[in-house]
A and B are shown apart, each in its own frame.
Chain A
Amino acid sequence: KAGVTQTPRYLIKTRGQQVTLSCSPISGHRSVSWYQQTPGQGLQFLFEYFSETQRNKGNFPGRFSGRQFSNSRSEMNVSTLELGDSALYLCASSLEGGRGYGYTFGSGTRLTVV
């Protein structure tokens, strides 16, 4: 079966702009989680969507938002970009939101803010 697809792979944006990242989960998986990875803070949970509803949210400012569509594809949006938003953004797909069955991660989108 196809894996988790994240697009685009790389992105360069200017401070103040906004960006939208996309994640297509494994077919049949209803949960999509997003994580941010930076050298300083490591891997941090952003939010989880399950059946089009945000079920859980990490400790990030409101500039970070997301949504999930009826086909389980998810997008995350970052508005008013700051230099500190430069990171690898990973999405994780799971059947029911982990629950002991593990997650499948995409290859990530590397965002650089200049």
Chain B
Amino acid sequence: SQQGEEDPQALSIQEGENATMNCSYKTSINNLQWYRQNSGRGLVHLILIRSNEREKHSGRLRVTLDTSKKSSSLLITASRAADTASYFCATEVFGGATNKLIFGTGTLLAVQP
């Protein structure tokens, strides 16, 4: 079963606008990662934020993490048509035999040119 829930399920915006997607999870984590998937292809790693970090930037991406609320958000600024894809959050917990990613349900982002 999936740990993460993402909101919204789908988002449609115009090129140049910002896109925000949210992720909630259920248990304590070591880090949270965001991945992009184009048209049912492989996942591309976007950014990783550790549990002791609150905000991280990478290019047009900004990720926040609130461990007290067990939630994260991904902001894509100045979106482009090429950003059209599904976005997944994934949590990672270290330790023993439990090292794996648990994915959220995903947000389908459509950027209209």
Residues of A within 8 A of B (CB): 4, 6, 33, 35, 41-45, 48, 55-56, 58, 88, 90, 92, 97-108, 110
CB of B73 closer than 8 Å to a CB of A: no
Counting residue pairs across A and B whose Cβ atoms lie within 8 Å, the total is 70
Closest CB of chain A to B7's CB: distance in Å?
Answer: 15
Closest CB of chain A to B98's CB: distance in Å?
Answer: 7
> Which DSSP category, helix, strand, loop or mixed, fits chain A's interface?
strand
A-B contact pairs, 10 of them (CB 8 A): A43-B103, A56-B98, A92-B101, A97-B99, A100-B92, A100-B94, A105-B44, A107-B42, A108-B41, A108-B42
A43-B103, A105-B42 known; A100+B50 contact, CB < 8 A: yes
Contacts of B36-53 to chain A: CB distance below 8 A: 40-45, 48, 50
The 5 closest A-B pairs by CB, nearest first: A43-B103, A105-B43, A107-B42, A105-B42, A45-B100
Q: Specify which of A58, A105, A110 is in contact with B100 (CB 8 Å cutoff).
A: A58
Number of chain B interface residues as a range: 20 to 34
Residues of B within 8 A of A (CB): 2, 30-31, 33, 35, 40-45, 48, 50, 88, 90, 92, 94, 97-106
Tell me whether B44 and A102 are in contact (CB under 8 A). Answer: no
The CA of A97 and the CA of B101, in the complex, are separated in Å by 10
Tell me whether B2 and A33 are in contact (CB under 8 A). Answer: no
The interface centre, meaning the residue of B30, B41, B100 with most chain A CB atoms within 10 A of its CB, is B100
Tell me whether A42 and B100 are in contact (CB under 8 A). Answer: no
Residues of B within 8 A of A110 (CB): 40
A43-B2, A43-B88, A45-B101 known; A100+B30 contact, CB < 8 A: yes
